[in-house]
Structures are given as structure tokens and as C-alpha cells.
Amino acid sequence: MKKTVTPVEQAVAGRNSRGDVVRVSVEVNASSDMTWVVLTDPIPGGATIPGGGLGRDSQIATTGERKSGTAWPAFEERSFEAFRGYYEYVPKGVFKIEYTLRLNNVGDFALPPTRVEALYAPEMFGETPNARVKVEAGR
């Protein structure tokens, strides 16, 4: 599994500031075919994931999101704690999913690892540690 965070809108180049928008990309290399797989990627406290359809949600910020590979999510959960993608079937090989994240709170955040696992075969999983996320007042 490989995770990449790319700035979309940044107040100060090279630093995360309150109000910045980033694009998170997670690439998974499945070692075998699996059914009912969930990908869980935690987000910093107070951050929001646009695209859930709420009243003040930004559709413009999510326009560049891409999915690739042979696995497509049956459902996406964009909660206040993590992004989750649920897959009914994941064939052997590589798939990639992207989502947009708005950083709303200042702080230094330590996140749990990003994890992908087969729901009915818990011995089939993968995880990758997340680096600390520092968000400054900036603007």
C-alpha cells in the first residue's frame, strides 16, 4: 500500500495551513482475489472530506478525484474520523482511489495507520503508517 498527499489549494507553499485543501491518493496492491474489502484512511481532527452531499459541500474541490484499477467501491464513507471505501470484490492487482481533504483545525496530529482488510478474512490485511500532520494558522 502506498499513500500520497498532494496540495490542491495552499496558503503558504510547502506548509499545511488552516483552510488548505489537499488530495489524498491511496494505492493498494492486492496479493490475491478478495471479497468484501474495506480501506480505512484516518484524517486529522477537525478536517472534513467534501463530496458527501451536505449543504455547504464543495463540488468544485472534488472534481479532480480519480479511481483506477479493476476494483471499484460499492460504497464510500466520508466521516469526521476517516475515509472508508467498501469493495464488494477486489481482484489480484493494483487499484487506486483519491479523495479530497480540507484542513480546518490548527495542530500537530498523530494518525493511526491506513489499513485495508478483507472483512470476512481478517488475516488478509495490509497497513502503512501515517506521518504526523502539522497544520499551522497560516492565513
**Tell me, what's the pLDDT at 51?**
72
- In 3D, which of 28, 38, 7 has the Cα closest to residue 101? 7
The rounded distance, in Å, linking the Cα atoms of 56 and 129 is 32
Q: 2-130 sits in which CATH class?
A: mainly beta
Place of cell 492487482: 93
pLDDT one digit per residue (tens) for the chain, 139 residues: 999 999 999 999 889 999 999 999 999 999 999 999 999 999 999 999 987 655 455 555 556 666 778 888 999 999 999 999 999 999 999 999 999 999 999 999 999 999 999 999 989 999 999 999 999 987 5
**Tell me, what's the pLDDT at 115?**
96
First to last CA, the chain: 34
**Tell me, what's the pLDDT at 64?**
62
**Tell me, what's the pLDDT at 105?**
94
Strand order in the sheet with 107-109: 16-17, 133-136, 107-109
Beta bridge partners of 26: 3, 97
